[in-house]
Chain A
Amino acid sequence: MLWVDKYRPKTLDKMMVHEDIAINLKNLVTEQDCPHLLFYGPTGSGKKTLIMAVLRQMFGASAEKVKVENKVWKVDAGSRKIDLELTTLSSNNHVEINPSDAGFQDRYVVQEIIKEMAKNRPVDARGKKCYKVLVLNEVDKLSREAQHSLRRTMEKYSASCRLILCCNSSSKVTEAVRSRCLNLRINSPTEEQIVRVLEFIGKKEGLQLPPGFATRIAVQSNRSLRRAILSFETCRVQQYPFTSNQAIPPMDWEQYITEIASDIMQEQSPKRLFLVRGKFYELLINCIPPVIILKRLVSELLKKLDAELKHEVCHWAAYYEHRMCLGQKAIFHIEAFVAKFMSIYKAFLIATFG
């Protein structure tokens, strides 16, 4: 088991970051009247950990007895029948799904699953009817239609089930859904907090941490706790007694994007564009989300760029990131961005150096 999972706090009391939110959540749940919850915040900030802890607080240890199911849902979509296969993680009292795995058919998933859950409400030990909890991940990736239908089902079945939504950016969740939930912003932990967690893990694992080592990992992790713990473990595998100047290995895809960036800086021509396209394909095959590719690429390019071009490049990056969300195939837009960058950069080089 990876350290990320091994040292994940199981209960709200044991939280090492966001202690204040944890206390508030505990109070909320123990008062029995739990509203719908919407957790949002950057990756690696601890949303999932909090959700799990909340579930445990609600249902006790039974929330951890989960079973994985690959379930096929038969959905009647007007004129035709659709079969949807989706992985669910469920205990007696809660179901967790990633509706966006179903792609553009996500709206059916949301409706159907909630309907089915509402049908068989569990009965607790004292014979009192209680609610079920549905955890929906990546709500921001749901399509508009799915979010609308989510809103409707939320109202209709609010008596029998509670929703816990989880997403990175609340701006991509419709107002209607947001206003029906208790919104909880989970910030990224500060670097000091990350250092504290790393030192805690180091102590548990019985490792000697050279001074400043944890800080360096924390800085490089970009304030993502998950990232920090993962690279900490990588370092441990790479070389144990730690040395204070030990290199912290980057993720392979990040390295790859750095390569792409230097390719782009070297030569600006259609031929090079074609070569770069092949490299993007390689990343896409490995399911690296295109938005992340673009973001990373821009930050790599900006590092090497003259200050007067930065503004324009950022503008175009934002432009094509937006279009990527509107369009179907991301590579078209990434490539358009790269072409635009090449065009700008080449003009700049000619103007500067003749």
Chain B
Amino acid sequence: MRRRDVVVALSSSEDDGIPPPSKTKTKTKTKTKTRQTQPRSTSRRNSKKPRLQQHQHQHPPMFNAVNCDALDKDFSDAFMEFQQGAGYRWSNNGELWVEKYKPKSLEELIVHKKKVEEIKIWLKERLTLSKEEFRTLALVVRGPAGVGKSATIQIIASHLGARLCEWNTPTPTLWQEHIHNSTSGKQYTSKLDEFEIFVETIRKYPSLSFSCSSGSSSPCVLLIDDVPLTNGRSALGRLCNSLHVLARSTVIPTVIIITDYSKAESADDRSHYFDVLQSALESAGASKVTFNPLTINSIKKTLSRICEEEQCHVTSEQIDKIAKASGGDVRHAITTLQFLSLRLGHTVSSSLINPTMSCSKEDSEVNLPDDGCCLPFGRDETISLFHALGKFLHNKRDASVTAFENNVFTLRKRFTRLPLMMATPEKVLDQAHGQARVVTDFLHENVLEFLSNDAIDDAWTVASYLSDADNLLGIALPWSMSRKYEAESIVQSVAASVAVRGVLFGNSHPAISRWHSIRKPQLWMIEHSALRNKFEMVRHRIEGYNALKLADVCIMATEYKPTLKWIEHNVTEYFDSHRMVEENECRMEGLDEMDWTSCGKSDDIEDW
């Protein structure tokens, strides 16, 4: 497959004039490859196709450069170099493991049984019973990438003996192609247009569109794997509309797959976008199945099965790490595994060539670094600041461990704490990219709610550690040292560490775990409005207080202002009333803002 891909890509780049294939329906499962080869235009293809097929049949396992003689000479040279340079033989496993170990039966699926069952029943009912019994024949399957949505549908369909028809996503048009097309007089149709046309066809000629593709009488399931992406409100509206029409008018069971992006990945309204699509479909009466990320255990099982079959030597710890790093994405996990075994194989072969190096090299390459966050592969392991804060504040500890005999020091009872149920706090901070000041402020704002209401001693411990952290942050480094960034960053990270560990240590009687919302520090708002009030006072100090001197702000705040307010309250003749009113308004504004921070801007966090 790998090999074929290469060839196809080349040939398609040779004939640029091909229009993007439109709404051809194939029944093959391997979409990408066949889709691209099918609509090849006439004359050139005729001359080449036999050759392609020829080498495919004659030398299936090995890619031999000699066979490429019909292809571009340069390319074959380059490919030769690539092949030799890589130093790795494709021969025995020239396939991506993701393709190779694609689940082939229901048993091999590692999706949760209930979900599989749910979809199976849904499909079965709709395939066997008559169409009039259901309001709609559409199903929305939604979930993050790599959890086996498409695979589940495909397997269930084949299990039920149904044909799977797909709307073939048209290949995206490149800009060069577009230019080329427009000069040759071809019209550009957007993917959305094509999708609309497709939906229209289904609506108008329901039986026609599927019967033509095959003569058999086996039931048919329509799968829409790639919903076209749209940009802008009107385009989204059109897409929603056509999805709605599709869900309403389809006469064969239709499965629409929506792949979620995780929220952390796209802070913008991408996820919102899919919500809109889903609600459009559901309003048309489509049923819905949501897939969750796969569990680490099931991924681990799959990985070790592959390891056995491939006979590669990956330790169970490494599998564990890969599974954890994958974040429930089995496709990613398998690719990572293949990459890892590739690395291993590579080092082994190079160590054979160069035996003196073998020991050190194997040591350095095979042993993965201990901390998961700097694996040479894997998904980005960053977590959001709120996630980290939740970890710190909830302070989950491993209650099962009771003995401390393995400790080197025996601590007094009041200093002993159960082990933490998380990575070292510094690491968590690191992953969350928490800045010391921000983290400290957030902890200060929220920590009191997480203390048991009797534990005032704990409150003091926490408060004193936070005060320590604040002092560390307030350290004015000597002029010579403040130029050096390391010194400052050390102070920062120490301060963050003190704050976090202080909160973890101090909170020895946590409140009963319940749902909390984490608030944004009110302190920021307070500081802001205090500063504004101060400026206000400074600005008014001359004309307002009518003095020949500059009064200190603190004296104005503590003495002049209360007096003036008092006087103003009783008699107005003493003072220009207009200004005081203004000041009062300013005060009121400050209060309003406080309310706003406390209720409006709270970020919700679940109890984990």
Contact = CB atoms under 8 A, between A and B. Distances in A.
B559 A274 contact: no
A89 B550 CA distance: 7
B537 interface: yes
A340 interface: yes
B454 interface: yes
**Most B-side CB within 10 Å, residue of A97, A287, A346:** A287
B549 A89 contact: yes
Range of interface residues on B (Cβ < 8 Å): 35 or more
B86 interface: no
A2 B563 CA distance: 10
A329 B530 contact: no
A339 B460 contact: yes
Contacts of A268: 456
B470 interface: yes
B554 interface: yes
A289 B558 CA distance: 8
B174 interface: no
A271 B450 CA distance: 10
A339 B470 contact: no
B226 interface: no
Contacts of A253: 558, 562
A97 B550 contact: yes
B463 interface: yes
Task: Describe B's contact surface by its main secondary structure.
Answer: helix
A299 to B, nearest CB: 14
A292 interface: yes
Contacts of B560: 2, 230
B557 A288 contact: yes
B439 to A, nearest CB: 13
Interface stretch (B378-386, B391-399, B538-546): B538-546
A112 interface: no
A238 B570 contact: yes
B473 interface: yes
B6 to A, nearest CB: 53
Contact of A68 (B475, B542, B553, B558): B542
Contacts of A138: 552
B565 A252 contact: yes
B448 A270 contact: yes
A233 B444 CA distance: 42
A338 B529 CA distance: 24
Contacts of A320: 467
Contacts of B479: 145
Interface string B571-596: 10010000000000001001000100
B554 A237 contact: no
Contact of B526 (A284, A333, A342): A284
Contacts of B566: 234, 237-238, 249, 252
Contacts of A328: 470, 473-474
A326 interface: yes
A7 interface: no
Interface string A314-348: 00000010010011110111011011101100100
A335 B522 CA distance: 14
B464 A66 contact: no
B457 interface: yes
A167 B561 CA distance: 21
A192 B357 CA distance: 94
Contacts of A346: 456
A214 B543 CA distance: 30
Contacts of B453: 269-271
A230 B563 contact: yes
B213 interface: no
Interface in A227-265: 227, 230-231, 233-234, 237-238, 249, 251-253
B463 A339 contact: yes
Interface string A165-193: 00000000000000000000000000000
A26 interface: no
B496 to A, nearest CB: 14
Interface centre among B530, B538, B545, B562 (most CB of A within 10 A): B562
Interface of B: 441, 444, 448-449, 451-460, 462-464, 466-467, 469-471, 473-476, 479, 522-523, 526-527, 529-530, 533-534, 537-539, 541-543, 545-567, 570-571, 574, 587, 590, 594
Given A231-B563, A270-B453, A292-B558, 10 more contacts: A87-B538, A87-B542, A96-B550, A137-B552, A270-B452, A273-B448, A285-B529, A327-B474, A332-B463, A342-B456
Interface of A: 1-2, 5, 43, 48, 51-52, 64, 66, 68, 70, 87, 89, 96-98, 101, 137-138, 143-145, 226-227, 230-231, 233-234, 237-238, 249, 251-253, 268-271, 273-274, 277-278, 281, 284-289, 292, 320, 323, 326-329, 331-333, 335-336, 338-340, 342-343, 346
8 contacts: A2-B564, A249-B566, A270-B453, A285-B533, A286-B530, A327-B471, A329-B527, A342-B456
Which 4 A-B pairs have CB atoms at the shortest separation, nearest pair first?
A336-B463, A339-B460, A287-B557, A328-B474
